[in-house]
Structure 1
Amino acid sequence: MAAGHSLIVDFTTVLGASALGGYIANKFKQPVLLGYLASGFIVGPFGLKLLSDADLIKSLAEFGVAFLLFALGVEFSLTELKRVKDIAIGGSLLQIGLTTTLVTLITVVFGWASGFPQGIFLGAVFSLSSTAVVLKTLTEKGETYTLHGQIMLAILIVQDLALGVMLAILPALKQPEGLVTALFLALAKVIGFAAIAFILSRWIVPGLIRNIAATESDELFLLTIIALCLGVALITAALGLSIEMGAFVAGLMISEIDYADHALAKILPLRDTFASLFFASIGMLIDPIILIENFGLILGLVTLVMFGKALIVFPIVLKFGYSVKTAVITALGINQIGEFSFVLALTGLELELISQDTYLLLLGTTAITLIITPILLERAPKLANRLIKTPFLFKYLRRFEAPKSLSIPETINSHVVVAGYGRVGQVVVKILQSQGYPVIVMDNSEPAIQRLRHRKIPYLFGDADSELVLEKAHLEKAKALAIALPDPGSTRILLERALSIAPELDIIVRSHSDKEIDILTQMGAKEVVQPEFEAALELGTHLLKTLGEEQNQIYTVINNIRTDRYISIRPDR
């Protein structure tokens, strides 16, 4: 078969297998990411060997990483980042530094490394986590904008920036006397690139995008977006920095202009298509022979790495003032070895910092940690709740669950409690205050609390689903509870705990998807609001008015839809 046809066959095979694997994973209520990984292993060189050129597929998979990070950059909000900026920088550096130091000491002391250079190298490999896997999992769960989601992504982005520095100083590990020079050059590259990116994003890219958009040609617009994403990624790769860093910065360049949402909509199908290739390519790296021959060793390494990194991240998150639940979810979310550790490992092999056998062990260990990550993230909230209730840890951890601060009048009564002071929560509070109703707001974001202090609105600073926080909200004296949290898991926990304190409380809940409407209703919510459906109802109301329908008839139609929990307008299942 011609080479061109061979590529098409390989491409179709991987995409078809990924679609089937994702479908099966979804049917078993598992993240589709696991299906992609499994499908890659099955069709890859260690499985059924259905690909004639697996290396070419792995090269194409780099598009997936670039598009994933580009989309993150477009969606990324610097305002949102400000609320986690301290842990983004300080926490990331602490995590990288502690992980590298501990791995170096352990590997050297136990003789797993031939010396400190190799120990430092292994520490650098283990210190990186997977932006692609974590981002994909958070996106599937709808938790990108939750507090723990923002913390994870902020730490991961700093890790990606650190990758460029690590790649630059690796050669110096063979010649330690050149370490300072290598570090200086790496930092100079990062600073130089940042300066160029700032100039492009301020004076060149916005004008370019506006001119292309003015042509009203979707093809030109899409081609320009792809060229920008891959072009900046290639520049960072040429500088010895990471592709991830370049793609993310390219996304940031257009995140603040008017056409950001249009660009994101255009790139999402490409992102999802090539991302499935990327995760399948990771599955192709799993060599069952290596796993079987070194099963005990690899299992021990996976346990040591994931448990050890979680133990490092957990106290760091607590140190920066976040709750136990946030610390546990974050620790279990970024305790894997990152896909770009493959790049470091390959560089280390070429520099003879590690042997071929060690390289293969690292690949196997990394692949397994990536497979386990979505499962851990799915179960992290329940694990956090169990951890808090563990008898020997109860007294120590419970103090982190208490409100960090509060401002509530002692005489408050017949008030409304609003959980979450984001975009939805702020509107709810304004409506209630405009009619003179007393409110208490619960939020775990310092910027949100600062706004509440400034506006002299009673507040509780802490996780709204924490029992200790709820105890201070006087739910037994409240008229109603409005839940407007960005995290579906926290929403369900809060609803359950609030009803256990005040069974007759009128609770209104924001649903994140149509699947949750019935669940939240069955749990006891008096009213479940789905934002997308409500927007559609408002559009429908105005259209019916325009078409001359009577006000009473319009009210009846819309009210029936709401009373029936949107069943008549939900998408076909």
Structure 2
Amino acid sequence: MASVSSELTLIFDMVTVLGSATIAGYVANRLGQPVLLGYLIGGIVVGPAGLHWVVDEEEVQVLAEVGVALLLFALGVEFSLKELLRMRKIALGGGTLQIFLTIMLGGALAYGTGWVSTIPKAIFLGSVLSLSSTAVVLKSLIERNEVQTVHGQIMLALLVVQDLSLGLMLAILPALTQPPEVLGQALLVAALKVLLFIIGALVTGKYVIPWLVRQLALSGSQEIFLLGILVICLGIALLSDRLGLGIAMGAFVAGLTISNVEYADHALDLVLPMRDVFATLFFASIGLLIDPLFLWQNAWIVAGLVAIAMVGKASLVASIVRLFGYPLKTALVVGLGVNQIGEFSFVLAGVARSQELFSSNLYNLALGTTAATLLITPFSLKLTPYLIQYLERLPQLNRWFNLNPEPYSFGLEENLRNHVVVVGYGRVGRTLVRMFYFQRYPILVIDNNEAVLQHLRERQIPYLFGDASSSLVLEKAQLSEAMAMAIALPDPVATRLTLNRALSIAPDLDITVRAHLKDEIESLYQLGAQEVVQPEFEAALEMGAHMLLQLGDSAYAVQQVVQRYRTGHYREILPERAEYWNLKELELAIEGLHHEWYNVTPDSLLAGVTLGAANIRRRTGATIMAIDRHKRFYQYPTGEIDLEAGDRLLVVGSPEEHQNFLKILRQ
């Protein structure tokens, strides 16, 4: 650093931190780890605890503050008041209760054990624990296509309320450092500041910001529009910081003021790349502050704090979600999903240190614990379905936790026959029910969201309230007497489980399944679906059919083209063919399903028999998803392939179906 002039120090530091974060993030991504891990490690490597290339982290912290502002600004633009109001009970009631209880219980535990010496310090530490990571959880939900699931919606509702509370915390918590005789006055002044700022933001957001954004858009210059949006964002953030409310609250309010303007999507589209760059700088700057030697010397303490924080928070959140009437399985998934300490807790911890509420030792422990929980979260979210599935298979725990409660029904007749079962009453499910209803087919709907079922009661349409992937629910749906079944669930794992368990009850049932991603199509067919519909491909086919008709092709020719793509499982319009899919996609396809590998021995009756002739699905209910043969891997094998001695077979099915398969394999 000595060779770098003072004028270039900031540029050197920024390039060094971003370069290190890029390299470490790339390595983490290639190793299948969260890029957040790479950003933190990149900061550690070039920071004071590493190569000493960046020793004045305060300069980088200035740019990291911009990252925080842009993160919350983008969140404000994307914020949907309508969605929050739709989940208002669990969001406002459950979210507020979660924050309050976490602050009280976490602070009381810290104060009672002597970790902190004063009540203000305890409240500040409890506030740090109360926040979860919107960035990490949302990214994980998007990757797993679970944003529209019930547990995904609850997680996001709780996270939005937490993010909203950050501004209030930054405004009110520093007032706790005032002497007792003026504490009440300080809190009142802080509350008035928040109230006046919100009133001013509402007025400005209604009369000033929309006009200003329209003028920027009318300029016709994308550069001027972007600069104007950044000035609005950072200007309001700076104003809120001057009022003692923190940059984060101002940036979020700035996003809210723009969210209702017609150019909001365009503004967000321009800001997102800059947000990602500065957010990377923010996470890498946290790495600069982490001292690996200190964490190593206090490894057991950090591990204990991580365990207490994550288990305690998961238990608290799960209890609150269960209190609001959601099934225990949903409550456990939500609890295990938002049990980390969030990235904005770093901001609160920094404020606590600047107010001398956190000692250097406590600050480093809070920093290390928060970073560890953020890194664990993607893995815990991935393992949660397996944990739930394991608990379901343990009779004692299942009865104790009541993971599969007896489903209750409306209008379900004991002798219901020749009916159509629709699983999932979302946008797709509602359309299907409407079609079958007006065609006068008997219908049975399965869903676990009580809020959407009122319409069915009004129409006197029978339904089962429960988890469709539960064997108890499916058995009560009288599938053996049904004509057909449609699975339109938003959760890919629940979709596969429901399909697999439905066919184990009624092997001949005609089941149509909605696929969420192209990678799921072939695996759903292999699991036994009669028809798999992928909405994006279907939209393309309908658009193409309309255009071909307009171009003069005959209706018969167009129908033949569309039908060819459908009967070919969309393979001809896939970017890559199914046989070249990689193992990671296969792992995702069997996630949540009971699967085992089996060897075909020379004396097995399956050796030398084609997969079609073996008729494994019909005879056992199990499905062979892949064949490993002499270092060659066949995914989703077709009926023409011969089974050979030495083959390793990946089999999916229930425990009973696995036993049936073993009997055939060992004959």
Q: So what's the TM-score if we normalise by structure 2?
A: 0.77
Unaligned regions of 5+ residues in structure 1, if any?
none
Task: Give the corresponding residue for 1:414.
Answer: 418
Deviations 1:16-42 (A, max 9, x none): 544444444444444443343344434
Alignment check: 8 A CA contact 1:37 1:371 kept: no
Give, in angstroms, the shift of residue 321 of structure 1. 0.8
Give, in angstroms, the shift of residue 2 of structure 1. 5.8
Task: Give the corresponding residue for 1:345.
Answer: 349
Deviations 1:553-572 (A, max 9, x none): 32222222222222332335
Give, in angstroms, the shift of residue 474 of structure 1. 2.6
SS at match of 1:326: helix
Task: Give the corresponding residue for 2:368.
Answer: 364
Task: Give the corresponding residue for 2:89.
Answer: 86
Distance 1:184 1:300, change over 3 A: same
Distance in 1 (alpha carbons) for counterparts of 2:251 and 2:470:
38
Structure number with greater Rg is 2
Distance 1:73 1:415, change over 3 A: farther
Alignment check: 8 A CA contact 2:290 2:364 kept: no
Distance in 1 (alpha carbons) for counterparts of 2:541 and 2:233:
37
Distance in 2 (alpha carbons) for counterparts of 1:29 and 1:211:
45
SS at match of 1:154: helix
Distance in 2 (alpha carbons) for counterparts of 1:183 and 1:19:
43
Distance in 1 (alpha carbons) for counterparts of 2:78 and 2:549:
35
Give, in angstroms, the shift of residue 53 of structure 1. 5.8
Q: Which amino acid aligns with 1:110?
A: T
Is 2:40 aligned against 1:37? yes
Distance 1:69 1:384, change over 3 A: farther
Distance in 2 (alpha carbons) for counterparts of 1:109 and 1:11:
42
Write the mapping of 1:117-516 to structure 2, written as runs, cut at 5 A: 117-167=120-170, 168-173=172-177, 175-241=179-245, 243-398=247-402, 401-403=405-407, 406-516=410-520
Alignment check: 8 A CA contact 2:392 2:404 kept: no
Give, in angstroms, the shift of residue 378 of structure 1. 1.9
Deviations 1:475-500 (A, max 9, x none): 33223332222222322332333233
Distance in 1 (alpha carbons) for counterparts of 2:65 and 2:472:
46
Give, in angstroms, the shift of residue 11 of structure 1. 4.4
Alignment check: 8 A CA contact 2:469 2:497 kept: yes
Alignment check: 8 A CA contact 2:46 2:54 kept: yes
Distance 1:259 1:348, change over 3 A: closer
Deviations 1:320-379 (A, max 9, x none): 111222211211122122222223223322333232111111111111111111211222
Task: Give the corresponding residue for 2:62.
Answer: 59
Deviations 1:186-244 (A, max 9, x none): 43333333333333444444444445445554334434443444344444434433544
Distance 1:224 1:512, change over 3 A: farther
Q: Which amino acid aligns with 1:103?
A: G
Task: Give the corresponding residue for 2:584.
Answer: none
Q: Which stretch of structure 1 is more off in the superposition, 251-260 or 355-364?
A: 251-260
Distance in 2 (alpha carbons) for counterparts of 1:161 and 1:122:
18
Q: Which amino acid aligns with 1:111?
A: G
Distance 1:374 1:352, change over 3 A: same
SS at match of 1:346: helix
SS at match of 1:440: strand
Distance 1:435 1:312, change over 3 A: same
Distance in 1 (alpha carbons) for counterparts of 2:314 and 2:516:
29
Distance in 1 (alpha carbons) for counterparts of 2:192 and 2:75:
25
Task: Give the corresponding residue for 1:107.
Answer: 110
Q: Which amino acid aligns with 1:241?
A: L
Give, in angstroms, the shift of residue 508 of structure 1. 2.2
Give, in angstroms, the shift of residue 318 of structure 1. 0.5
Alignment check: 8 A CA contact 2:167 2:248 kept: no
Task: Give the corresponding residue for 1:569.
Answer: 573
Alignment check: 8 A CA contact 1:388 1:397 kept: no
Task: Give the corresponding residue for 1:540.
Answer: 544
Distance in 2 (alpha carbons) for counterparts of 1:135 and 1:4:
39
Unaligned regions of 5+ residues in structure 2, if any?
582-667
Alignment check: 8 A CA contact 1:101 1:123 kept: yes
Give, in angstroms, the shift of residue 105 of structure 1. 3.0
Note the aligned Cα RMSD (angstroms).
3.1
Q: Which has the higher contact order (CA 8 A, sep 6+)?
A: 1
Q: Which stretch of structure 1 is more off in the superposition, 215-224 or 343-352?
A: 215-224
Task: Give the corresponding residue for 2:605.
Answer: none
Question: Which segments of structure 1 move beyond 6 Å, counting only runs of 4 or more?
Answer: none
Alignment check: 8 A CA contact 1:415 1:479 kept: yes
Q: So what's the TM-score if we normalise by structure 1?
A: 0.89
Deviations 1:49-108 (A, max 9, x none): 454764444433344444444444444433332342112122223222222222333233
Distance in 2 (alpha carbons) for counterparts of 1:543 and 1:504:
38
Alignment check: 8 A CA contact 1:31 1:137 kept: no
SS at match of 1:118: helix
Distance in 1 (alpha carbons) for counterparts of 2:106 and 2:64:
30
Alignment check: 8 A CA contact 2:148 2:490 kept: yes
Alignment check: 8 A CA contact 1:324 1:384 kept: no
Alignment check: 8 A CA contact 1:163 1:242 kept: no
Distance 1:293 1:424, change over 3 A: same
Distance 1:179 1:231, change over 3 A: same
Deviations 1:498-530 (A, max 9, x none): 233323322222222222223333333232222
Q: Which stretch of structure 1 is more off in the superposition, 190-199 or 527-536?
A: 190-199
Q: Which stretch of structure 1 is more off in the superposition, 259-268 or 431-440?
A: 259-268
SS at match of 1:316: helix
Distance in 2 (alpha carbons) for counterparts of 1:15 and 1:306:
30
Q: How many residues align?
A: 573
SS at match of 2:500: helix
SS at match of 2:152: helix
Distance 1:78 1:396, change over 3 A: farther
Distance in 2 (alpha carbons) for counterparts of 1:142 and 1:91:
24
SS at match of 1:509: strand
